[in-house]
Amino acid sequence: MTQSYDLIVIGGGSGGIAMANRAARYGARTALIAAGPLGGTCVNVGCVPKKIFWNAAHLAEQMKMAKEYGFDALEPHFHWEYLKRQRDTYIERLHDRYAQGLDGNGVVLIRNHARFSGTHQITAGDEVLDAPHILIATGGQPVWPDIPGAELGITSDGFFALETMPRSVAIVGAGYIAVELAGVLHALGSDVSLVMRRNHFLNDFEPMLRENLMDAMLHQGISLLAQRQVREVEKRADGLCLHFQDRDCLGGLETIIWAIGRRPNSTDLGLEQANITTDPQGFIAVDAFQNTETSGIYAVGDVTTGPALTPVAIAAGRRLADRLFDAQTERHLDVQLVPTVIFSHPPIATVGLSVASAQAQYGEEAVKVYQTIFTPLVRAFSAEPERTAMQLVTVGREEKIVGLHAIGDGVDEMLQGFAVALRMGATKHDFDDTIAIHPTSAEEFVTMR
Ligand SMILES: Cc1cc2nc3c(=O)[nH]c(=O)nc-3n(C[C@H](O)[C@H](O)[C@H](O)COP(=O)(O)OP(=O)(O)OC[C@H]3O[C@@H](n4cnc5c(N)ncnc54)[C@H](O)[C@@H]3O)c2cc1C
Ligand SMILES: NC(=O)c1ccc[n+]([C@@H]2O[C@H](COP(=O)([O-])OP(=O)(O)OC[C@H]3O[C@@H](n4cnc5c(N)ncnc54)[C@H](O)[C@@H]3O)[C@@H](O)[C@H]2O)c1
């Protein structure tokens, strides 16, 4: 027998859970179908376990710095297995919390793989459901390279499953995940090589950010291998060997991590039953209101082409629930000024336009850039201190701030408040007129000349 709901949500990750809970609180009869563990990518193999390992790496750096502050040399031994156990236990608690939250809101949770069996009908195992509103929030998965021996490596999913710390690692890729994992593994004691196709990583970001991060990584001892196209992985007696096109090879590796992008989970959904097509990469097209090409079917999160970030998926899901079940007819997600942090070492915080994008959008004449680079006080005693760099991109006579970029200690926790200011239309004068907090690094944002 078909069970009827007001809303069916496919996918128990960031976007799906957010929409299901909000819709149910508005009184919508809601079913959420989740194939994987609750919380999806972010909670299980993304933001949360990554940040826990980043915290450990950050502590390792702080312990090194402690000597400069008069503490006896600390030579701590890091127990990867212990932290992994702690992390897994924490994540299990999050699973329970999500299940309780859904239950408390009256969302019916179905643990199975969902497929469309009609335009507004879903089959999950033996169950058949229908609803006038269906959300696709199925997220994505890591891309594997199509080369011989690729299966000898792992992806970020495999990284989070590692039981012991790899001694020597090559990370192939140049995006968020590649630089974040490189920083974490290096700080915890691995010998790390980052293998890039081009000369740089983080190619879509303001260049000053990646330039400063590349300097910092080289200084820390991470090996950056540019212009390397991977051709094959070979297993040898002394470890894995990564062969490059027309070039040398990198041997003696314990682990190779593929961090070459992610692809949407859209192939095994029966989308054709709902007359929904995807682009060649498998992404589902949506308009600004998350509508797909079929009325009453919506998509949010990593299965769409929007920024692949947890808060973006959550905001899109919640706004959609507001629109459909609380009569907020114009409510939708604005993807301008999405703040983001790259949890590299040191971290990067960025919101808004790069200098080049601002010039392209407003004309070169209209853009004025303020920047500063300095040694943060916390690094005052370091022989070769890691510097902090900050930049404000302004436009027009009123110098409206359209881009804010920073790399350095603590910028990850600085960005959120500045993102509010930019969203409210802050100008350089507003920043200058704000009393500084001294002595901090953040005060440089309101004292830049
Ligand atoms: C290593 C890593 C680190 C990251 N770090 C950050 C970070 O620091 N900050 C940040 O903002 N973002 C981060 N992200 C990105 C973030 O995790 C994603 O943007 C976010 O999880 C997307 O949410 P979603 O709801 O679209 O999909 P997901 O969270 O992936 O959830 C989709 C769920 O749908 C399920 N599913 C798929 N198909 C079906 C089906 N047919 N039937 C039923 N269920 C199905 C899946 O099992 C999954 O549980 C990171 C990602 C990775 C990989
Ligand atoms: N801190 C955060 O918020 C955070 C952290 C991790 C991931 N994420 C999200 O997850 C998304 C996916 O991250 P990602 O790092 O997997 O993807 P990405 O798209 O950011 O980067 C993939 C990189 O791999 C490179 N690449 C592709 N094919 C390659 C090949 N064959 N050889 C070498 N390099 C190759 C690409 O040029 C690109 O630079 C991100 O875009 C981001 O939105 C966010």
> Can you tell me the ipTM of this complex?
0.98
Query: What residues contact residue 261 under an 8 Å CB cut-off, 6+ apart?
Result: 142, 143, 173, 175
Query: For residue 53, which ligand has an atom nearest its CA?
Result: 1
pLDDT digits (tens, 9 = 90+) for 109-132: 999 999 999 999 999 999 999 999
Closest CA to 50 of 254, 343, 408: 343
Query: pLDDT category, 80, cuts 50, 70, 90?
Result: very high
pLDDT at 246: 77
Q: Which residues pair with 278 in a beta bridge?
A: 284
pLDDT digits (tens, 9 = 90+) for 1-38: 899 999 999 999 999 999 999 999 999 999 999 999 99
- How crowded is residue 97: how many other Cβ atoms within 10 Å of its Cβ? 13
pLDDT at 385: 77
Report the chain's mean pLDDT, rounded to a whole number.
97
Q: What is the pTM of this model?
A: 0.97
Q: Which amino acid is at 73?
A: A
Interval 433-439 mean pLDDT: 98
- Could you give the angle at the alpha carbon of 92 between the alpha carbons of 88 and 98, nearest 5°? 140
Q: In this structure, which residue's CA is closest to atom 10 in ligand 2?
A: 308
Question: In the numeric block, which tokens belong to residue 114?
Answer: 């969902």
What is residue 444's three-state secondary structure?
helix
Query: What residues contact residue 398 under an 8 Å CB cut-off, 6+ apart?
Result: 427, 429
The residues annotated as belonging to the active site are 438
Strands 108-111 and 114-118: unpaired
Exposure string for 218-243, b = 16+ CB within 10 A, e = fewer: eebebebbeebebbbbeeeeeebbbb
What residue ranges define each of the domains in the chain, with the CATH number in brackets? 2-142+263-325 (3.50.50.60), 150-260 (3.50.50.60), 346-446 (3.30.390.30)
pLDDT at 277: 94
pLDDT at 247: 72
Query: For residue 156, which ligand has an atom nearest its CA?
Result: 1
Q: Which of 8, 21, 42, 50 to mutate to test the pocket of ligand 1 (most atoms within 8 A of CB)?
A: 42
- 324 CA to centre of ligand 1 in angstroms: 23
- 283 CA to centre of ligand 1 in angstroms: 14
Q: In this structure, which residue's CA is closest to atom 20 in ligand 2?
A: 175
Closest CA to 124 of 103, 138, 110: 110
Question: Does pLDDT of 90 surpass 80?
Answer: yes
- Where does ligand 1 bind, in terms of residues with CB under 6 Å? 10-16, 33-36, 40-42, 46-47, 50, 113-114, 137-140, 156, 177, 265, 269, 301-302, 308-311, 313
Q: What percent of the chain has pLDDT over 90?
A: 96
Known binding-site residues for FAD equal 51, 302
